[in-house]
Amino acid sequence: MHKRALIVLFATALLAGGAGAWALRAHDGPSPDTNTPEITAMKTATTTPLISKLGHDITPLSPARIEQLAEKLSPADAKIILNKGTEPAFCGTLLDNKKDGTYICRLCSLPLFASNAKFDSGTGWPSFFQPVDAAHVSEHADNAYGMKRTEILCARCSAHLGHVFDDAPQTPTGRRHCLNSASLEFIEKGADFPAAALPISTSSTSAANTQTAYFAGGCFWGVEDRFQQLPGVIDAVSGYMGGKNPNPTYKQVCNGDTGHAETVKIVYDPSKISYPQLLEKFFRFHNPTQLNRQGPDYGTQYRSAIFATDDAQLAAATAFITAQQATDRYKTKKIVTQLAPVAAAGEFFAAEDYHQDYHVKNGGHCALPEE
Ligand SMILES: [Zn+2]
């Protein structure tokens, strides 16, 4: 059986077993080939980011990304954040916190509340009279347990935060946002914010500060997954490049007659990871000495290739391959990586939606090899 068929079977078994599939359950797993309104909405959301007044990207995260973020949560925190639990009164770690700073979402790091809106409500839970930006906290009617309440959630990742009540006349807004400490992380004034907590203009996702690289190293699921895990890599996209027909389908590429290689487009922040560092990782993530194959996958679509976006990348890649060939590692084996400028290789075509973030969505996550 072909490797992909095996992986699909494995992933299907995982999903059927419901392993850690909170987000996937919530999404109810649409067929990857269909363009449901939900998927179309997700695509629209990713191409046109929603920016809050404070300048943060509050585009709702995909269920797959939320599930990936949720891996860091302890079971107790997951119960509150993902399953709308409530921590016992007077037990949260942030109840008595009087320091100056910002409270960000525990799951996605979006800033939610500031210390200057915190007040002692006497209820036993951290209380704030307003969020830092109204668009960062969404509100939903909650009629559970025979009560009429208003649930509050992180607008970006839908993490459960707590409830909001109109019972605080002593505050400027009269409102009490009643929080679970577990749903928040406190960043003291003067401390560094995580990248995901920064407004878009100063964060690493600013388009002006990015560069692009293209690497083909066998099945793109794994290559995309590994690059996506590197700090400094903003986005990795699976696609097809180096062939003759425009907009090829996966089936056409698999048949091997379009000439495309399964290629990953990498958008990166050169102040955090350099092109030579990406080249080094690329040679760790695949075997550059296998001609027109990679492991069990045979065919020109699995060839090793570097498509350089400019003369600087072409020169760096040429020097890198020459230097690698001279090392002991490749002493007895010839590096067969194809090196071509993008101008000669032709356009990159993103692969079908179901190939993107394949391992994140379906399991079988590729661990980074040891250095
Ligand atoms: Zn969040």
Q: Are residues 166 and 216 in the same domain?
A: no
Residue 3 included in any domain: no
Quick one: pLDDT band at residue 365, thresholds 50, 70, 90? low
Task: Determine the distance separating the centroid of ligand 1 and the alpha carbon of 60, expressed in angstroms.
Answer: 9
Average pLDDT over residues 289-315: 93
Residues 191-209 have pLDDT tens digits of: 888 989 988 855 444 455 7
3-state secondary structure of 127: strand
Residue 142 included in any domain: yes
Q: Are residues 191 and 102 in the same domain?
A: yes
Domain coverage including residue 214: 207-362
Q: Are residues 185 and 241 in the same domain?
A: no
Average pLDDT over residues 157-179: 95
**What is the predicted pLDDT for the residue at 51?**
84
Task: Determine the distance separating the centroid of ligand 1 and the alpha carbon of 215, expressed in angstroms.
Answer: 32
Identify the domain boundary among 178, 197, 216: 197
Identify the domain boundary among 169, 197, 225: 197
Average pLDDT over all residues of the chain: 83
Residue 202 included in any domain: no
Q: Are residues 348 and 214 in the same domain?
A: yes
Identify the domain boundary among 197, 232, 266: 197
Q: Are residues 91 and 193 in the same domain?
A: yes
Quick one: pLDDT band at residue 254, thresholds 50, 70, 90? confident
**What is the predicted pLDDT for the residue at 242?**
95
**What is the predicted pLDDT for the residue at 11?**
36
Handedness of CA 245, 250, 256, 262 (dihedral sign): positive
220-228 vs 275-285: helix axis angle to the nearest 10?
130
Q: Are residues 130 and 261 in the same domain?
A: no
Task: Determine the distance separating the centroid of ligand 1 and the alpha carbon of 107, expressed in angstroms.
Answer: 5
**What is the predicted pLDDT for the residue at 371?**
63
Q: Are residues 252 and 192 in the same domain?
A: no
> Does residue 35 register a pLDDT over 80?
no
Active-site residues: which are they?
Answer: 178, 219
H, E, C per residue of 3-60: HHHHHHHHHHHHHHHCCCCHHHHHHCCCCCCCCCHHHHHHHHHHHCCCECCCCCECCC
Quick one: pLDDT band at residue 256, thresholds 50, 70, 90? confident
Amino acid at 357: D
Residue 60 included in any domain: no
Task: Determine the distance separating the centroid of ligand 1 and the alpha carbon of 45, expressed in angstroms.
Answer: 16
**What is the predicted pLDDT for the residue at 50?**
85
> Does residue 223 register a pLDDT over 90?
yes
**What is the predicted pLDDT for the residue at 12?**
34
Q: Are residues 310 and 268 in the same domain?
A: yes
Which value, to the nearest 10 degrees, does the dihedral of the CA atoms of residues 75, 81, 83, 88 take? Answer: 80
Average pLDDT over residues 100-113: 96
Q: Are residues 306 and 351 in the same domain?
A: yes
Which value, to the nearest 10 degrees, does the dihedral of the CA atoms of residues 48, 70, 77, 103 take? Answer: -40
Q: Are residues 140 and 74 in the same domain?
A: yes
Residue 50 included in any domain: no
**What is the predicted pLDDT for the residue at 54?**
83
Task: Determine the distance separating the centroid of ligand 1 and the alpha carbon of 159, expressed in angstroms.
Answer: 5
3-state secondary structure of 343: helix
> What is d(CA 125, CA 91) in angstroms, rounded to the nearest whole number?
8
Tokens of 287: 């075997």
Question: E strands, 126-275, where?
Answer: 127-128, 137-142, 149-154, 160-165, 176-179, 184-188, 211-217, 233-241, 261-268
Residue 113 included in any domain: yes
> What is d(CA 20, CA 89) in angstroms, rounded to the nearest whole number?
28
Question: How many distinct structural domains can be found in the chain?
Answer: 2
> Does residue 10 register a pLDDT over 60?
no
Q: Are residues 187 and 272 in the same domain?
A: no
- Contact (CB, 8 A) for 176 and 168: yes
- CATH for 75: 2.170.150.20
Comparing 52-66, 151-165, 351-365, the range with the smallest average pLDDT is 351-365
Quick one: pLDDT band at residue 321, thresholds 50, 70, 90? very high
- Contact (CB, 8 A) for 179 and 162: yes
Residue 241 included in any domain: yes
> Does residue 3 register a pLDDT over 80?
no
Average pLDDT over residues 85-93: 87
- CATH for 296: 3.30.1060.10
H, E, C per residue of 218-256: CCHHHHHHHHHCCCCEEEEEEEEECCCCCCCCHHHHHHC
> Does residue 48 register a pLDDT over 90?
no
Tokens of 368: 């980074």
**What is the predicted pLDDT for the residue at 9?**
35
Quick one: pLDDT band at residue 115, thresholds 50, 70, 90? very high
